[in-house]
Chains A and B, each alone.
Chain A
Amino acid sequence: MFSLNNQLELRKIAISSLITCIYLPSIVTVISYKGLLYSLGNGSTFYVLLLIYIAELLKSFYLNSNVVSKKIKSKMQARDVINSGIFLLGVTFCFFVGMILFGAPMLDSHEETLMISALLTLLTVFPLVAHAGVESAMQLLFGVKHFSRDTIIEMLVNNALLTVCGAWLGAVVIPLDWNTPWQKWPIPCYLGAIGGHLFSNVLTILKISLMSAAEKNPVLNFVVSVLNKFNLSK
């Protein structure tokens, strides 16, 4: 559970999660409405990734608006941007190679694999890099440095983990004999990643709502205490 001492951070996290819960389903709904769901893997749906990039960038600006001082803002120079771009490209390449190693088609569908690699990078690593910088993101990725009660980073890491889990579990539906068009690679993993990301954000909103309501309700307060005891908030 998040600590209650920082109401400002909690409100930012709540609004950020709400924005995610609004724009991602909107994108998916528009895609489904337009009948583009089955071409999500193609390069023609690159604008979807662009929309997600812009949304995540705006969210990052919002999350950093009051907390970050002017000094850190001036540090966001071109050199840092180039380093972030290189690092994100490297992460995309790692996702690409990892997906091929774990079962994606090897000789063809490279465009589709690249699309989902880019999506996973945008949903998992890009918010961390945009929020905390390249060095901190690398340290967080490898578990060297624990996020010491930084609720925003905790939320971003949870989002990343559940996004990867969603993409991983999306692969479960590929071998089933439903014969639906959206069982083609990489659409189930693409939607699974988006679903995992949404799920994480919904969990965040639920946790914050529960904590807010627990202050007024003794029964919910007891539930929150029990959850804290069992360490389920982690």
Chain B
Amino acid sequence: MLSWLQHRWTGLWLLMLALGALTLFLYGFFPLKYHSGKFAHMDDLPNFIDGIGIDGQEVYNAGEHSVVLMVIDGLRYDFATEEYMPFLGELLKNKSACIYVSVAEPPTVTMPRIKSPERKKEKAQWRRTINFWRDIFASAMMTGSISTFADVALNFGAPAVRGDSVLRVAASRGRHSVMYGDDTWLRLFPGLWAEHDGTTSFYVTDYTEVDYNVTRHLDRILSPDEDLKPIFDFLVLHYLGLDHIGHLEGARSPKIKPKLIEMDEVVKKLYTAMRQWSRTGVLIVCGDHGMRDAGGHGGASPAEVLVPMVVIKTDDGFRCPHPNGPGPTVGQVDIAPTVAWLLRAPPPGDSAGRVLPALMPADVRQHLYLLHVLASHNAKQGLPTDTEFFKQFQRAEKQFAQYLATGQQSAAKIAKEFYDESLDAMSKYLTETTAEFDLFAINFATVLLYILAAAASCATLYSLQTEIRKPSITHHQPSKVSLLLAFAIMFIIFSIILVISCFITETKSSFCSFGPLWSIAFFAAALVLTIAYFVIKTGVEKVKDMTALKELNAIDYLLIYGTLFHSWSFFGTSFIEEEHMTWYFYWNTLMFFVLIRTVVVIVTYLSKRWSGATETQEKPELEERMSSVGVSILPQWVLLIALHRYLRTMNQTGDRWLFLPDTADWLNAPENSFYLQAHLLIGTLATLGICLWNVRHMNNYMYIHSILTILATICILSYRIASESLETPFSDIKSWDTITIVNLFWAILIIQALYEIIIYAGIFKSCGCDPGTKKFGYSKPKVKSEDYYYEPAEEPWNVDSVKLNLVRSLSHIMLNDLMLIVILLMRPHNVIMVPSVFVTSVMISKCLDHKLLDGRAGKGKEVADLIGQSLVHVWIGMVFFFYQGNSNSLASVDLGSGYVGLREYSPWRVALRMGLHAYAGPALAGAALFCRLALVSDTWQRYIQSVWRVCNIYALHRIYAVAVYCVVAVTFRHHLFVWSVFSPKLLYDFVATVFTVQALATIAQIVLLTNLTRWVASLRF
């Protein structure tokens, strides 16, 4: 179908289809946890066991307990021994305490050992560790269910855990919960603490103060009231010092042992104090994850995944039922139902665990009822009923009912065994379904992405032809019926192939389940295959003229091969964590190449000019080109290299050198606030200057655009003053409402865009106030009779030139608005990135001009110029993405940018702003490129053709990068770093694809808006 290849938005459609394929890949790669959304109540306790009545409220009663949950961050399994913690070891030896092996569920992120030099260690701060990865651990312990990677990522902006938790059920039963430790708990479970004191995990070098802030509360909180009852029901203590020592110096550090002895002293203090209470106390000591010998955690090695869980009960009759040595394996999700049982609260809604064996009641009836509550609770979570463990649960229920009816001990024993088996299998099944890959969906999506990449390649190569031959009339064109028939036949064939592949592989994938919604996805995938097949077929047939690729020079080849090989570099984990180094290397190479070429060209020009006039006559075009650009290009280029060198020091990013101090740290220090404000002012005023410079491309009637731009900048400065980033003598501005300022800012931007369209549509002309501008004035061209033969649909007015003017104006409005919005969202020290992107774009567009470098002209040169410009702007965007401090780790996402000018949490607006802030560099570079396209094109047709080619190149690049990375992710899906290195990069790629679709759609919208406004204007004339 030739019309698909010729369609100028084919690249955009292919990119949208690739986004769909990537979504299918993400569905297979990132399983989502089943959320029932159910909040537990005591009324949910079953009152009938296989027809036999039982009072659930009365039986489900553990007595009065006070629970202390002591979390020692980074507590490895071998740390809970007599050697490191003597008091704990003594308790374990005389069976006053039980120890279990708890498996920390992946994903836990890599928090690497700090590799900064020795002298910089004390200055290093863990600036970026929001440590939302403690969310997984804390929510697993409190909700009783494992969060997957996708759950945490999707809950990014949302501060709190939405599902049911032990804290909520305890609060609903009137229990008092107290927390001392990491403030992650306060963020996750707000409003559920009777008392709290959260410490920030900001400084990783602090491993004494951060624990003292927890311990200093103990004397007060542990002292009972006059009835010898503790003043809390549930106390959470989270100690971070051990984890911090591990990050700084490793598990073999000499500071580990004193820290563990300090923790042992805390356990002793807790145990001694609990023995004074009149109420039974339960102390659970555990870690959230382990620790590598080298320090840090995040993988799946046993040292990182196995943690101890010690249970201490101050009941005099308490004896650990297990033999000495390593106890049984339990899950972190077992804490939630255990604490809920002890606090006489129902298990949380999504809980998938069970009560720890040491804390099960001794009474047989109570014991069996508790097992039944947990098993029936798990069974309600969407388990298949045709499985062995479900049948086992039903058999156990029958045995329990028989025990209730007859009182047979043998039936009780059998029921207990059956319940235990089914509970283990149920928990295992629920956790496994949470963390299972859908391999069929993954592989099919990868194949689909590669086919779409091939289709995008054909579309791009077709658009890069210099001479697109129009189909002659004599050539036989297939009829539309036969084309539709061929399409239908191929669609049926691809559907049959997909169905056969589903049955051959016998996959359990939901993609092949043929449910109502999945059938739509299934046949949509077949449709995508058919479309891609026809695009490839037509492209292979029609792509003939490739003379444009012969015009590429060394810099173009550097750009093309750099972009191609960059995607393949991700087969090394270092190149994912340090992707910015790859881009900095490529960028430096490009700047070095351009510097050498510029030096050679200028020296040649100067020497020929000085040596004599005869030699300058050999290359007269060279003098013409140089006079247009100027000898000043060389110092400007050197200054640009210096600017990039400075911007590179602004934010340390990546993995190895993230913790080194950078310029942003220096600027954000309190004593350097003057320089920070100077940065902010320079960046903002430079952007204002650029915006006012861009206003000359717009219809600046009565300087409306200039005034609106200045007003928007004043709003930004007022917002900065009101949010106390900028100091000013006008103290009354500080009291202004930031939300109002930001809303006014948005209104100004909207007015600016609408004003331009109204001008073009000719509203002012009909009202009688003639703008008197040449940009949007209509005039009737001279009629040429010979034009009518091959231009039957010629416009009666000079519409094309007016459309080109409007497109230039709207493109520059988009660029100006984008720059202003990004300035508003940016951190103060990063504001100078925005004018730097524009300056880099303008300079490199000048220096990459093929006419300057090569001297010859032609249509092939134009195509080669477009390839170079497109790719170099992709590079600019990526380089500035990393200059800003982004990385391929979720820890570098700036959550604060999502809440600029927002009062309440709105998921879509927060996500949009966070995304726009993160991808400000690529967005600005793309906008600058499209503005340049509008500038250099002298006719509407040439502009449309340029946009067509650039959109195809951008779409091809994005689809290619995603397709290669999907192969990387599939190859390394069982790698140690799958959740800490590969998965975040996949999410970043998904967001980048979404933003590329958004960017190209914005350009399409501008073109559509131009045509629509032209149609409205034509109604008036």
Contacts and interface: CB of A to CB of B under 8 A. Distances in A.
Contact of A176 (B574, B638, B648, B649): B574
A143 B600 contact: yes
A168 B641 CA distance: 16
Given A101-B638, A172-B585, A175-B656, A143 B645 contact: no
A144 B607 contact: yes
A177 B656 contact: yes
Contacts of A102: 588, 591-592, 641, 645
A106 B603 CA distance: 29
B513 interface: no
A109 to B, nearest CB: 11
Contacts of A168: 589, 592
A174 interface: yes
A179 interface: yes
A47 interface: no
B614 to A, nearest CB: 16
A142 B599 contact: yes
Interface stretch (B199-207, B388-396, B576-584): B576-584
Given A175-B574, A177-B574, A177-B656, A103 B584 contact: yes
Contacts of B577: 177
A177 B585 contact: no
Contacts, number: 46
B581 A174 contact: yes
Nearest to B642: A101
Contacts of B654: 175
B906 interface: no
Interface in B612-654: 638, 641-642, 645, 648-649, 654
Contacts of B603: 142-144
Contact of B578 (A100, A101, A103, A175): A175
B655 interface: yes
Instruction: Determine the interface band of chain A, counting residues with CB < 8 A from chain B.
Output: 10 to 19
Interface in A178-216: 179
B604 interface: yes
A157 interface: no
A129 interface: no
B641 A179 contact: no
B121 interface: no
B413 interface: no
A102 B588 CA distance: 6
B409 interface: no
A43 B592 CA distance: 28
Given A142-B603, A144-B603, A177-B574, A101 B581 contact: no
A101 B644 CA distance: 8
Contacts of B600: 142-143
Contacts of B655: 177
Residue from the set A102, A143, A168 with the largest chain B CB neighbour count within 10 Å: A102
B20 to A, nearest CB: 35
A227 to B, nearest CB: 21
A89 to B, nearest CB: 19
B604 A143 contact: yes
A132 B592 CA distance: 26
B645 A171 contact: no
A185 to B, nearest CB: 12
Contacts of A103: 584, 588, 645, 648
Contact of B585 (A100, A106, A171, A179): A171
Contacts of A176: 572, 574, 578
B394 to A, nearest CB: 53
A128 to B, nearest CB: 16
A143 B648 CA distance: 32
B115 interface: yes
A158 B573 CA distance: 35
Interface string B284-303: 00000000000000000000
Nearest to B115: A179
A176 B579 CA distance: 10
B1013 to A, nearest CB: 47
Nearest to A139: B607
Contacts of A106: 645, 649
B464 to A, nearest CB: 26
A74 to B, nearest CB: 28
B593 to A, nearest CB: 11
A144 B609 CA distance: 12
Contacts of A101: 638, 641-642, 645
A116 to B, nearest CB: 15
A176 B607 CA distance: 44
A171 B582 CA distance: 10
Interface string B808-826: 0000000000000000000
A179 B655 CA distance: 13
8 contacts: A102-B645, A171-B585, A175-B581, A175-B654, A175-B656, A176-B578, A177-B656, A179-B115
Interface of A: 100-103, 106, 142-144, 168, 171-172, 174-177, 179
Given A101-B642, A106-B649, 20 more contacts: A101-B638, A101-B641, A101-B645, A102-B641, A103-B584, A103-B645, A103-B648, A106-B645, A142-B599, A142-B600, A142-B603, A142-B604, A143-B604, A168-B592, A171-B585, A175-B578, A175-B654, A176-B574, A177-B577, A177-B655
4 closest A-B pairs by CB: A175-B581, A142-B603, A175-B578, A102-B588
